[in-house]
Chains A and B, each alone.
Chain A
């Protein structure tokens, strides 16, 4: 089947099996910034924004994105330089595999609760696992991004 959406602000359409997942549609079409980690919607590495809601694209049927406004890490960091700068300046990463998902979730928090405190940041970001950092620099990055808004 064919699925049409707005992707990073541009019209986008792609062929997918009817049970195809959004993560595969994105990655097979060159949007490899979205990573697949656990494959069961737990680790958050594959997080993308679908009409302002962060979703785990590894368990999200591509067909459900029909007609929606989808943003990946590539598009969000291009659109919002403060988002990229916050993670770069606070070094909110080590190996970087979870980072695209962290960045997308930080953007989503900026929509949902731009005045989030430390506890609210940690609660919101709990769906984005990181095995490297111990979360201190990631939390700092999110805080810096929210402060920039």
Chain B
């Protein structure tokens, strides 16, 4: 049976936030900063107030002064005293229609006094650098302390640098290279949108393009001093997320505008606002050092990453464990040092995007592994074979996963590769890369099961269907355990008022979390009194560290006269437990890989002087049906999963290794090593020219 939402979506009858209107609704538009760093001298709203349809105009002085954020509470509703990036919200207009709001917003005059700005990591960390925030340590949730470099948000380290330095000094083979990655956007095709209806402090209703409604409720409540339980996030269908819709977006602002105007307020971004002023992936600068003994076994490794966090740090948690950008999850590393720095700059604030940190870190690490293999004089696959973790060993961060299936996944991948002939006169190369990722075993969600007529079951869930097929998987797992045929089960998304909890979609945990709550629901269902509805919830850690390996093999052809690269095939070997919905599972593999292909070869926000120059989708290139390679999938079954359903992660597994697999294939073809993304024809051409 097909997806629960297939017919509605394919016929255009599925409704998204932008499709909703509520009675008496007004529309908001914002004025965005044209300056990267400037003092706001004055804001003149008089002309805007005289425009047709305008209800009110707002500046920072008119709205709550409490900032908002996830862990670090540093983001204002509207820029106060100064602006910190091009695109920051400076003022807002509420009008009868969207067009009137946008027209009036353009009439607001802002007078700025420019300040020295910092754009790059080196500028931001230089002695005497201009401060993006004067007192970053003073924000609630700040990790920075007074006396730290002024623009440092957070520095997380793991292991002993001295021990690693000493081991590397004595290693038979050492590589030491610098890699960099560009700014890229989540690229969901549904612009962020919000409708907020503030009736009173006891009644607030929000429709938001969010995957994490309970978290948004908390953040809006704290910012506006409203009891979060009085804020209802309505159930919605989400038009893509990929990490870009976990932040509160414009819900705090729209709620405040509704409170001030007494009307429901809707704001839908234009896509150029999504590209330039939301929370794309952090650009990163990463130094990798790996040392090996004479037999090619790793003796020590160091990964040091600096992540450009942009003007605000509100949208990512400050993780205590090694950041995704510096993790070494797959290999035996006796001595490991990592350092991840998140740094304020006068650029667009960054947030989470599919496997946060891992696409940057895996590009660096897996490129460096190939460079190490070259230094030792062994095949890249052989170096990995000698160093992949096996079951029973702890990883570099001392985590004991329940099993390691990297070796069999690697062998399965290599066995399945069929070399493809390049076009005549083109160079051919093949590259591999490996990534492994834990399934977050923290399950936090709830369900209501109500028997209805004709032996049917109505199942309410607060989990937002982000597009992954989660509601379909829920129906399938309930069908398997309760004995209802899938067509007898109706899955209904409900609001935050209807059920107690949901952690939001993310961290590759959705199916595992659903599996856990379905186990609880199945028990409660067997024990229920006749014909009554049951509500179940779960909020616990399974305590088992289950992970999944992905081994990718990229085959490329390169035209030596132009540098043009054609990705002939991308093979994904994945280590799997049970699969609930085969097509949805496959789309996570292919879709994740496609996002990796975009990151590796096409996508670039093209940032310079604090501006995002790729400010529309004509400039910011997402892969099209023509740009993707042939995908080949090798499933390596038999892994241990979570819950009765025996499931583990897939959604964030195939994106991170793509860039390194391609870079390694490009090297195999050309003997040119590209250490900065994206890998373009121009870079390959220049590198080939440099060889001559």
Q: Could you list which residues of chain A lie within 8 angstroms of chain B, going by C-beta atoms?
A: 17, 27, 31-43, 45, 72-74, 77-78, 84, 87-89, 91-100, 103, 121-123, 125-139
Contacts and interface: CB of A to CB of B under 8 A. Distances in A.
21 contacts: A37-B190, A37-B191, A38-B618, A39-B270, A39-B272, A40-B618, A43-B189, A73-B11, A73-B12, A78-B11, A95-B189, A95-B237, A96-B9, A103-B10, A103-B11, A123-B626, A128-B625, A131-B186, A131-B188, A131-B591, A135-B624
Given A38-B616, A88-B7, A131 B187 contact: yes
A91 B6 contact: yes
A131 B622 contact: yes
Q: Is the interface of A mostly helix, strand, loop or mixed?
A: loop
Nearest to B570: A134
Contacts of A98: 189
Given A40-B618, A91-B3, A136 B189 contact: no
B647 interface: no
A93 B468 CA distance: 9
A27 to B, nearest CB: 7
Interface of B: 2-3, 5-16, 18-19, 99, 186-191, 237-242, 270-272, 466-469, 583-584, 586-587, 589-595, 616-618, 622, 624-628, 631
B12 A42 contact: no
B625 A135 contact: yes
A94 B467 contact: yes
Contacts of A139: 625
B658 to A, nearest CB: 12
Contact of B271 (A32, A40, A88, A132): A40
B11 A132 contact: no
Given A42-B618, A91-B583, 15 more contacts: A36-B18, A36-B191, A38-B189, A74-B11, A77-B10, A78-B11, A88-B10, A91-B2, A91-B6, A91-B587, A94-B587, A131-B242, A134-B589, A136-B631, A137-B586
A88 B468 CA distance: 15
Contacts of A123: 626
A96 to B, nearest CB: 3
A83 B627 CA distance: 25
A81 to B, nearest CB: 10
A100 to B, nearest CB: 4
Nearest to A75: B12
Given A42-B617, A98-B189, A134-B587, A126 B6 contact: no
A133 B590 contact: yes
Contacts, number: 178
Contacts of A17: 99
Contact of B467 (A39, A128, A132, A134): A132
Nearest to A141: B10
Nearest to A19: B99
A35 B13 CA distance: 11
Given A98-B189, A131-B622, A87 B239 contact: no
Contacts of A94: 240, 467-469, 584, 587, 591
Contacts of A72: 12
A134 B271 contact: no
B185 to A, nearest CB: 10
A34 B616 CA distance: 20
A93 B6 contact: yes
Contacts of B271: 37-40, 43
The 7 closest A-B pairs by CB, nearest first: A33-B12, A95-B467, A134-B590, A97-B239, A96-B9, A73-B12, A38-B617
B616 A129 contact: no
B240 A131 contact: yes
B616 A92 contact: no
B479 to A, nearest CB: 17
B466 A95 contact: yes
Contacts of A34: 12
Contacts of A131: 186-189, 240, 242, 591, 595, 622
Contact of A95 (B238, B589, B590): B238
Contacts of B8: 96
Most buried by A among B99, B271, B592: B271
A138 B625 contact: yes
A113 B352 CA distance: 42
Contacts of B2: 88-89, 91
Nearest to A40: B616
A97 B14 CA distance: 9
A130 B627 CA distance: 12
Contact of A122 (B240, B242, B466, B625): B625
A74 B189 contact: no
Nearest to A92: B10
A135 B187 CA distance: 15
A97 B625 contact: no
